[in-house]
Amino acid sequence: MIKHTGIFGPGQCGKTFGCKALSRAHWTDDRRPSLVLDPNNEDWGPQALVFTDMSRFLPVVWKKRDCAVFIDEATMTIDRNTAFTDLFTRIRHRGHYLHVIGHRATVLQPVQRDQFSVLFLFRQSPGAAKIWAEEWADDRILQATTLVKYEFLLCNKFEGPGGTHLIKRGRFPAK
């Protein structure tokens, strides 16, 4: 099953660090290369083709198939722009796994947020946690206000018993 993943939290909490590990895991586990939009132009490893510009990134995303697609710095790259909604709603038809990395839920439109079947929520403000809890109809997400550095809630939509959401705490090792 193709899953779209949202990774959200404040700066220095481990978002990009964790996504680089996910990119490597996609390659190691099923030879799925990564297409990365990273305005900071960081090194994501040999399995990743990194772009700094959305206008160069998008044609490659729509041309390729079966990639792990990462969009970092959603505040800069997507910023509630409805022109990018098709990335959220149609990209799965290319066999891609979408990963969007940002600081707050509000950098995306509701229809964009609704496409995530997996969330890695690092520490959230009460307002941001409330948005995610309301959209997933699950108050356990409010626990995200208590997380410490590198700790996250891993939320899987409809993967729990009886079709409920599976939500558990996790932690990346310190760098």
Q: What is the pLDDT of residues 10-40, one digit of tens each?
A: 998 989 999 999 999 999 999 999 999 999 9
- d(Cα 34, Cα 138) in Å, to the nearest integer? 31
Name the residue among 34, 70, 30, 33 with its Cα closest to residue 54.
70
Q: What is the pLDDT of residue 100?
A: 96
Is residue 104 pLDDT above 80, yes or no? yes
Q: What is the pLDDT of residue 174?
A: 57
Is residue 1 pLDDT above 80, yes or no? no
Q: What does the pLDDT average to over 128-145? A: 96
The domain total for the chain is: 1
CATH number at 43 reads 3.40.50.300
| Mean pLDDT, rounded, of the chain | 93
List the domain range (segments joined by +) for residue 99: 5-171
Q: Which residues contact 131 (CB under 8 A, 6 or more apart)?
A: 105, 106, 113
The C-alpha R_g of the chain, in whole angstroms, comes to 15
Q: Spell 97-124 as b/e; 16+ CB within 10 A means b.
A: bbbbbbbbbebbeeebbebbbbbbbbbb
- d(Cα 105, Cα 126) in Å, to the nearest integer? 12
Contact assessment for residue 17 and residue 120, using Cβ atoms and an 8 Å cutoff: no
Q: What does the pLDDT average to over 153-166? A: 92
